[in-house]
Chain A
Amino acid sequence: MGPLSSRLFALESRRGWTVFMGLAAMLMLVVPVLNLAVPPDSWLHVPTFWVTTLGKFLCFAMLALALDLIWGYAGILSLGHGAFFGLGGYAMGMYLMRQIGERGVYGHPELPDFMVFLDWKELPWYWFGFDHFAFAVLMAMLVPGALAFVFGWLAFRSRITGVYFSIISQAMVFAMMLAFFRNEMGFGGNNGLTDFKDLLGFDLSASTTKVGLYLASALMLGLMYLLCRYVVTSKLGRVLIAVRDAESRVRFLGYSVTRAKLFVFTLSAMLAGIAGALYVPQVGIINPGEFTPAKSIEIAIWVAVGGRGTLFGAAAGAVAVNGAKSLLTGIAPEIWLFFLGALFILVTLLMPRGLVGVVRQWRERRAIAKTSRSDSHVSA
Chain B
Amino acid sequence: MVHLIRKGRSGGKILGTAALGAALLFAAAPAAAEPSEADLHAALQALDTKKFKQKAQAIEHLGTLGGPRVLEVLEALSKGRLHVRKDGRIVIAERSGKQYTVQDAASGRPEPEAGKKELKKIKVNNRLRRLIRGVTGRLALFSDDPGRRLEAADNLSKNPSPEALPLFRQARDRETDDAVRAKLEVGIAVLELEADDPALRLAAATTLAGISNPDIRSLLKRRLAADAEPNPEIREALHRAVESIDRKLWLFGIAENLLFGISLGSVLLLAAIGLAITFGVMGVINMAHGEMIMLGAYSTFMVQEIFRSVVPPELFGFYLLAALPVAFLMSAAMGVLIERGVIRFLYGRPLETLLATWGISLILQQLVRSLFGANNREVANPEWISGAVEIAGGVTVTLNRLCIILFCLAVVAALAAFIRYSRFGLNMRAVTQNRSMASSMGIRTGQVDALTFALGSGIAGVAGMALSQISNVSPNLGQNFIVDSFMVVVFGGVGSLWGTIVGAFSLGIVNKFLEPVSGAILGKIVVLVFIILFIQMRPRGLFALKGRAAGD
Interface residues in A135-168 (C-beta closer than 8 Å to B):
151, 154-155, 157-160, 162-164, 166-168
Bound-state Cα–Cα, A347 to B536, Å: 32
* Selected interface stretch from B57-65, B164-172, B345-353: B345-353
Q: Is the CB–CB distance between B366 and A300 below 8 Å?
A: no
- Residues in A with CB closer than 8 Å to B528 are 171-172, 174-175, 178
Closest beta carbon of chain B to A221's beta carbon, Å: 24
- Whether A166 touches B532, Cβ cut-off 8 Å, given contacts A171-B483, A337-B363, A341-B359, is no
Residue of A nearest to B527 (CB): A175
Bound-state Cα–Cα, A167 to B285, Å: 10
The range of chain B's interface size is 35 or more
Q: Is the CB–CB distance between B356 and A338 below 8 Å?
A: no
- Residues in B with CB closer than 8 Å to A162 are 350-351, 552
Bound-state Cα–Cα, A171 to B531, Å: 9
- Cross-chain contact of A166 among B354, B356, B369, B524 (Cβ < 8 A): B354
Closest beta carbon of chain A to B218's beta carbon, Å: 30
Q: Is the CB–CB distance between B524 and A178 below 8 Å?
A: yes
Closest beta carbon of chain A to B90's beta carbon, Å: 61
- Cross-chain contact of B355 among A155, A160, A304, A334 (Cβ < 8 A): A304
- Cross-chain contact of B351 among A166, A338, A347 (Cβ < 8 A): A166
- Residues in A with CB closer than 8 Å to B525 are 175, 178-179
Q: Is the CB–CB distance between A163 and B354 below 8 Å?
A: yes
Q: Is the CB–CB distance between B370 and A345 below 8 Å?
A: no
Bound-state Cα–Cα, A155 to B537, Å: 9
Bound-state Cα–Cα, A101 to B266, Å: 51
The range of chain A's interface size is 35 or more
Q: Does A301 contact B (CB under 8 A)?
A: yes
Closest beta carbon of chain A to B282's beta carbon, Å: 12
- Residues in A with CB closer than 8 Å to B352 are 348, 352
- Whether A170 touches B486, Cβ cut-off 8 Å, given contacts A163-B285, A179-B525, is yes
Q: Does B327 contact A (CB under 8 A)?
A: no
- Residues in B with CB closer than 8 Å to A182 are 521-522
Interface residues in B321-361 (C-beta closer than 8 Å to A):
342, 345-346, 350-356, 358-361
Q: Is the CB–CB distance between B483 and A163 below 8 Å?
A: no
Max count, chain B CB within 10 A of own CB: residue among A151, A172, A341: A341
Bound-state Cα–Cα, A297 to B358, Å: 8
Q: Does B365 contact A (CB under 8 A)?
A: yes
Q: Is the CB–CB distance between A164 and B366 below 8 Å?
A: no
Q: Is the CB–CB distance between A164 and B535 below 8 Å?
A: yes
Bound-state Cα–Cα, A6 to B362, Å: 47
Q: Is the CB–CB distance between A345 and B351 below 8 Å?
A: no
Closest beta carbon of chain A to B478's beta carbon, Å: 12
Q: Is the CB–CB distance between A345 and B359 below 8 Å?
A: yes
- Residues in B with CB closer than 8 Å to A154 are 532-533, 536
Bound-state Cα–Cα, A179 to B533, Å: 17
Q: Is the CB–CB distance between A171 and B532 below 8 Å?
A: yes
Bound-state Cα–Cα, A334 to B371, Å: 11
Closest beta carbon of chain B to A186's beta carbon, Å: 14
7 pairs from A and B in contact (CB 8 Å cutoff): A158-B537, A164-B490, A167-B490, A174-B483, A304-B355, A341-B363, A342-B359
> 8 closest A-B pairs (Cβ-Cβ)?
A344-B359, A341-B363, A341-B362, A337-B366, A175-B528, A345-B359, A341-B359, A154-B536
**A interface residues (Cβ-Cβ under 8 A, vs B):** 77, 151, 154-155, 157-160, 162-164, 166-168, 170-172, 174-175, 178-179, 181-182, 293-294, 297, 300-301, 304, 334, 337-338, 340-345, 347-349, 352
